Amino acid sequence: MTIDNIIKIRNVSFTYPDAKEPAINNVTFDIERGSWTSIIGHNGSGKSTIIRLINGLLDAGENANSKIEVDGIRLTQKTVWDIRDRVGVVFQNPDNQFVGATVADDVAFGLENRGVSRLEMMKIVPKAIAAVGMSEYADSEPGSLSGGQKQRVAIAGIIAIKPKIIILDEATSMLDPDGRSQVLQIVQQMKDKYGLTVIAITHDIDETALADQVLVMNDGQIVTQGKPESVFKKTKLLNELGLTVPFVQQVKKDLQSNAINIPDTINSEKELINYLCQLNSKK
Amino acid sequence: MSIKFQKVSYVYSQGSPLEKKGLDNVSFELKDNSFTAIIGHTGSGKSTLMQHFNALLKPTSGQIKIAGSLITPETTDKHLKKLRRHVSLVFQFPETQLFENTVLDDIAFGPKNFGYDSEKAKASAQMWLDRVGLPKDIANRSPFELSGGQMRRVAIAGVLAYEPEILCLDEPGVGLDPRARAKMMQLFFEYQKAGHTIILVTHNMDDVAEYADDVLVMEKGRLIKHDVPQKIFNDRSWLKKHYLDEPRASLFASQLTNYTFTDLPLTKKELIAGIKYNLRK
Amino acid sequence: MNKILIGRYIAGDSIVYKMDPRGKLVATILFIFVIFLANNPATYAILTIFSLVAVAATKLKGKVFWDGVKPIIWLILFTSLLQLFFTVGGKVYWQWMMLAVSSYGIINAIYIFIRFTLIVLISTVMTVTTMPLEIADAIEWLLTPLKLFKVPVDKIALVMSIALRFVPTLFDQTFKIMNAQRARGADFNNGGLITRAKAITPLLVPLFISSLETAIDLATAMESRGYRGDQGRTRYRILQWSLYDLINLVYFIILVILLLIFRTH
């Protein structure tokens, strides 16, 4: 069976006007339908640029060798709106993406833009709000909501247009731990319920535990990619890039350097705890 | 000269329909040269409490003794300069406070306000630019050309440049990548070691475990616990009851069911040492 | 403080709240014209009674309306006094140089006072019972005929609603920056005019920058959410007339008829 890739990026480069160095330098990668991909990298590594290229907020220009393909559609000037119907983005700042005067108005914004009839909206909007657990706030103004709640509203606004892909552009970085875990939980639920593909740009390395695939970016290029456990094995490389590894990996590595032998096959927190408990009962 | 809060209460929009209790009868004393963490959920009163340290908010009742000043409900906005020279406050996302034409001028803004002559202010700005880890050649650039992380450091340098005795910080690392975060925390830790007092409002329990020697726990405007980190984090059922997180190390350690720890490990270093000790026994 | 700028809407539940903002806005505007129909004690009494009934119908505390009148009470009194001293005619009770208190003067002063106060009361009834957003919607509806002249009414409406939406955000940001600069020793309260004007730079520049950032973020988010101008846009929030608006209309018509009957011709 061939792998069904919902996003195909081929040889894409992008340079901001007035910049000397390209922000994205000849990048190629695929994202599998229904998967969760985390993109990590320090500030300015090109993470945010790449997602802005995917939904056409930035234009890489047309070039025979390079292409961006989303859900079988090649991104061009003509198809950009079709692609935006398939891709929803939750941005970093909860306040600055809240367009509507109330929660319901904001959730309806994307539908209004697509000319959905009012009758239809009256059905979709309450459902989308309920899906993120915000029903009791439907008529609330943004000022009375927490950052996490605003991000949940943003997710509802995306769910309402029935996209195939949801992108989190550091969507949890301005939230407190409660808000962060709520948002991630909702995204996980939505992913399962609607079979969405998730791309999450993040600083929170522990968040990558949710991912099927991790892409590591540096200087506009993909340095390494793969399953989380194989990426986080490369502690040295990640440290050189100024990235930390998940806490489990740190503990594992420190134990190893303290002459406590931990097999390479042990990667999750659960595995490490079980292994250490066995080790302690054996002696 | 310690910091002393005596029965401090604060009411928001008193007398209006929106009246809300921000602080409720809060009393505590903090030692000089300590590193105190203030923890609690969003809306628990942490930020309200922090703004009392330099009288941006003044108590509705009670009084505060800090850095040789006394803050009471009657304190007026005049004559606060002396207090604010000694007690400074860094808000979340401090990069939003930058405004000068050059990085150096922006850092020198605080020192000039607090009576440094222009020469001395520049020198201090130059020194702190370096200490926060920024390259020297950005001194004459516009702060708005810098990256987010660099802007944050310029803003922090702008506060450190007049060397306040007491430095209050509200989530200084939020939104930074892990490397920049760690560097910033290290900077504050060194500032404390150089003989200053740090007050840190944070959600990050790892930072509390790593750096703090004293902890204030806020809930609904009340101070519900004041103790050293070890004592606070040892009482796991209490933490659970108040929906507070634990440091990752102690969370990990608590799952190692057949291990015994004399003290619950709070940091990764302590965790590794504890595991080693158990396995060698 | 931000209550002044974003309107003085007070949550409540009464017949006035249930009325359509368009009806309320139109009635308020027309009221300002209709008030000039009154020209004798009977018509002023009718106006006053009708206005007080409207005030009572909101079911809000009297203080709310006093708060509406208070800021301009001096203006009202001053205008009334001008009328009192400068109107000539009728019996003169007191005179000094150009100033005179005459019977006409007294009556005019009272009329002016009533007129002014009633206009403030009625507009307060509207602003406290109608959310700023609803007012914006009502204004949009009033502007609809301008579409014939290619005025982009939909865009103007979207701009108005977004502007209203961001007023509280802007206020939060202002206070935050002010506090941050105060912590750095900036002083916004002391000093002469020039010192104060200078002191405001550290506030204005960051505020400008952050507003700009907000605008850019917002534009990005809107584009990403499929906003491409007015083309084929539908509306989620629409205003609907109800029976309550009929009450509003009938009440207003009765007022006008009574005024027409009882005014001095």
Could you give the percent of chain C with pLDDT greater than 70? 97
Q: Tens digits of per-residue pLDDT, B176-189?
A: 888 888 889 999 99
Q: What is the mean pLDDT of chain A?
A: 92
Indicate the number of domains in chain B. Answer: 2
Give the residue, C136 or B269, on which the prediction is more confident. Answer: B269
Q: Check whether residue B269 and residue B201 sit in a common domain.
A: no
Residue A258 · residue B256 · CB < 8 Å? no
The token duo for B241 is 């009851």
The stretch C237-243 carries a mean pLDDT of: 88
Q: Which of B78, B81, B109 sits opposite C202 (nearest CB)?
A: B109
Name the most confidently modeled range: B29-33, C7-11, C237-241.
B29-33
Cα–Cα separations (whole angstroms), residue A169 to A39, A156, C221: 10, 16, 11
Using the predicted structure, report yes or no on whether residue C4 has a pLDDT greater than 60. no
Q: Tens digits of per-residue pLDDT, B190-222?
A: 999 999 999 999 999 999 999 999 999 999 999
DSSP A200-259: EE-S-GGGGGG-SEEEEEETTEEEEEE-HHHHHT-HHHHHHTT----HHHHHHHHHHHTT
Q: What is the pLDDT of residue C204?
A: 93
Q: Tens digits of per-residue pLDDT, B43-68?
A: 899 999 999 999 999 999 999 999 98
Q: What is the mean pLDDT of chain C?
A: 88
d(CA A208, CA A200): 9
Residue C165 CB partners (closer than 8 Å, separation 6+): A98, A99, A100, A101, A141, A142, C133
Whether residues B84 and C185 touch (CB distance < 8 A) is answered with yes
Instruction: Break chain C into its structural domains and give their ranges.
Output: 15-131+241-262, 153-224
Using the predicted structure, report yes or no on whether residue C21 has a pLDDT greater than 50. yes
Whether residues B268 and A251 touch (CB distance < 8 A) is answered with yes
Q: Check whether residue B95 and residue B159 sit in a common domain.
A: yes
Q: What is the pLDDT of residue B17?
A: 65
Q: Check whether residue B112 and residue B240 sit in a common domain.
A: yes
Residue C107 · residue C98 · CB < 8 Å? no
Q: What is the pLDDT of residue C7?
A: 59
Q: Check whether residue B142 and residue B280 sit in a common domain.
A: no
Q: Tens digits of per-residue pLDDT, A3-22?
A: 899 999 999 999 998 888 89
Q: Which of B77, B99, B159 sits opposite C205 (nearest CB)?
A: B99
What ipTM goes with this model? 0.90
Q: In this complex, is the C-beta atom of A203 within 8 Å of any C-beta atom belonging to chain B?
A: yes
Using the predicted structure, report yes or no on whether residue C3 has a pLDDT greater than 50. no
Helices (H), chain B: 46-50, 81-86, 103-113, 118-131, 148-160, 178-193, 205-211, 229-234, 236-241, 248-255, 268-280
The stretch B259-264 carries a mean pLDDT of: 90
Residue B255 CB partners (closer than 8 Å, separation 6+): A273
Angle at B44 between CA B38 and CA B45, to 5 degrees: 70
Burial of residue A217 (number of CB atoms within 10 Å: 0-12, 13-18, 19+) = buried
Give the residue, A23 or A62, on which the prediction is more confident. Answer: A23
The stretch B100-107 carries a mean pLDDT of: 95
Q: Among A64-68, A121-125, A165-169, A198-202, which stretch is predicted with the lowest mean pLDDT?
A: A64-68
Q: In this complex, is the C-beta atom of A22 within 8 Å of any C-beta atom belonging to chain C?
A: no
The token duo for A17 is 């006007």
**3-state class (DSSP) for residue A12:** strand
Q: Among A95-104, B114-123, C130-139, which stretch is predicted with the lowest mean pLDDT?
A: C130-139
B41 interaction partners in chain A (CB closer than 8 Å)? 176, 178
Residues paired with residue A9 on neighbouring β-strands, in sequence order? A29, A68
A51 interaction partners in chain C (CB closer than 8 Å)? none
Q: Whose structure tokens read 């009806």?
A: C23
Smallest CA-to-CA distance from C136 within C163, C167, C98 is with: C163
In the structure, what pLDDT confidence band is assigned to residue A283 with cuts at 50, 70 and 90? Answer: low
Q: Check whether residue B200 and residue B261 sit in a common domain.
A: no
User: Which residues numbered 237-256 in B keep a CB inside 8 Å of some CB on A?
Assistant: 245, 248, 252, 255-256
CB crowding B262-272: b at 16 or more within 10 Å, else e: eebbbbbebbb
Q: Tens digits of per-residue pLDDT, C123-133?
A: 999 988 998 88
Residue B243 · residue B201 · CB < 8 Å? no
Burial of residue A17 (number of CB atoms within 10 Å: 0-12, 13-18, 19+) = exposed
**3-state class (DSSP) for residue C15:** helix
**Domain containing B160: what range?**
32-55+76-244
Angle at C151 between CA C149 and CA C157, to 5 degrees: 145
CB pairs under 8 A between B and C: 64
In the structure, what pLDDT confidence band is assigned to residue C112 with cuts at 50, 70 and 90? Answer: very high
Q: In this complex, is the C-beta atom of A283 within 8 Å of any C-beta atom belonging to chain B?
A: yes
Chains in touch with A (≥3 Cβ pairs < 8 A)? B, C
The stretch B64-92 carries a mean pLDDT of: 91
Give me the half-sphere count of Cα atoms (radius 13 Å) on the Cβ side of residue C249: 9
d(CA A55, CA C225): 10
Q: Tens digits of per-residue pLDDT, A136-179?
A: 999 888 888 999 999 999 999 999 999 999 999 999 999 998 89
* pTM for the predicted model, two decimal places: 0.87
- Among all residues of chain B, which has the CA nearest to that of A174? B175
Residue B234 · residue B227 · CB < 8 Å? no
Q: What is the pLDDT of residue A265?
A: 86
The stretch B96-103 carries a mean pLDDT of: 94
Q: Check whether residue B156 and residue B239 sit in a common domain.
A: yes
Q: What is the pLDDT of residue C72?
A: 87
Q: What is the pLDDT of residue C2?
A: 40
Q: What is the pLDDT of residue C45?
A: 94
DSSP B215-239: EEEEETTEEEEEE-HHHHHH-HHHH
- Among all residues of chain B, which has the CA nearest to that of A274? B256
Q: What is the pLDDT of residue A1?
A: 60
Q: Tens digits of per-residue pLDDT, C171-201?
A: 889 999 999 999 998 888 777 778 777 888 9
Q: In this complex, is the C-beta atom of B109 within 8 Å of any C-beta atom belonging to chain C?
A: yes
Q: Check whether residue B104 and residue B222 sit in a common domain.
A: yes
Residue B96 · residue C183 · CB < 8 Å? no
In the structure, what pLDDT confidence band is assigned to residue B91 with cuts at 50, 70 and 90? Answer: very high
User: What end-to-end distance do the CA atoms of chain C give, in Å?
Assistant: 47
Give me the half-sphere count of Cα atoms (radius 13 Å) on the Cβ side of residue A50: 35
Chains in touch with C (≥3 Cβ pairs < 8 A)? A, B
The stretch C54-78 carries a mean pLDDT of: 89
Q: Whose structure tokens read 């933490």?
A: B239
d(CA B189, CA A187): 37
Q: Check whether residue B258 and residue B240 sit in a common domain.
A: no
State phi, psi for C19 to the nearest 5 degrees. Answer: -70, 150
Q: Check whether residue B81 and residue B196 sit in a common domain.
A: yes
Q: In this complex, is the C-beta atom of B94 within 8 Å of any C-beta atom belonging to chain C?
A: yes
d(CA A266, CA A268): 6
Q: Tens digits of per-residue pLDDT, A205-260?
A: 888 888 999 999 999 999 999 999 889 888 889 888 888 888 998 999 899 999 88
The stretch A121-138 carries a mean pLDDT of: 96
Q: Check whether residue B278 and residue B194 sit in a common domain.
A: no
Q: Check whether residue B97 and residue B214 sit in a common domain.
A: yes
Using the predicted structure, report yes or no on whether residue C5 has a pLDDT greater than 70. no
A141 interaction partners in chain C (CB closer than 8 Å)? 165, 168
The token duo for A242 is 């100024």
Q: Check whether residue B259 and residue B205 sit in a common domain.
A: no
Whether residues A121 and C236 touch (CB distance < 8 A) is answered with yes
